[in-house]
Amino acid sequence: MNPFVIHTGLVAPLDRVNVDTDAIIPKQFLKRIERTGFGQFLFYEWRFTADGQPIDSFVLNQPKYANSTVLLARNNFGCGSSREHAPWALLDYGFRVVIAPSFADIFYNNCFKNGILPIKLSEEQVQELFSRAQSKDNYELTIDLQEQVVKDSDGLSYPFEVDSYRRYCLLNGLDDIGITLQYEDKIAAYEAKKRA
């Protein structure tokens, strides 16, 4: 996994609540057996018509938001299916950060396993970011995980909370399995006790 330390990027505002993982990556694209290549299908049914033409009104199809790497969203982002294809698709498309007032648990967890930083800010703060991203051209945010702060070039600065252990793993790009295997003795002892 790639470490995440600091990131600056263009912001795309997706103004919907309860964006589910079926919307993020529709089921017809879950059949691949690789982790890569899902970006082309991200938000597919919102991005493209049934015959594959781009839908101009969808935020990611607007030239203003092309090449964005920070996704701004509303409450309960990532609800529904546990499919990790959702963060894979976001990452493959180019997103490294998702900012929303709240996230569904499994999605939130899956992001950290893939080097995406999901950030919870208050509804008011998210609303302010929506206003700026929608009204300004090339609106960028800098996300500093070391300092735990979201900033823009106009002086906006929002600190954010993140679990210290998740932060540590993301900063260092650590592999969970490797960490767990350090406790092999304890796992074996637990299994021996259970079998007894």
Interacting residues with other proteins (CB under 8 A)? 15-18, 20, 22-23, 26-28, 30-35, 45, 50, 74-76, 79-84, 87, 102-106, 109-110, 113-114, 163-165, 176-177, 179-181, 183, 186-187, 190-191
Whole-angstrom distance, CA of residue 188 vs CA of residue 185? 5
Whole-angstrom distance, CA of residue 114 vs CA of residue 25? 16
Which residue, among 133, 62, 131, has the nearest Cα to 97 in the 3D structure?
133
Which residue, among 90, 82, 87, 89, has the nearest Cα to 106 in the 3D structure?
82
Rank residues 70 and 116 by Cβ distance to other proteins and give the closer one. 116
Shortest distance (Å) from residue 161 CB to other proteins: 13
Rank residues 52 and 63 by Cβ distance to other proteins and give the closer one. 52
For residue 185, give the DSSP letter.
Answer: H
DSSP helix/strand/coil, 12: strand
Rank residues 25 and 150 by Cβ distance to other proteins and give the closer one. 25
Rank residues 142 and 162 by Cβ distance to other proteins and give the closer one. 162
Shortest distance (Å) from residue 151 CB to other proteins: 25
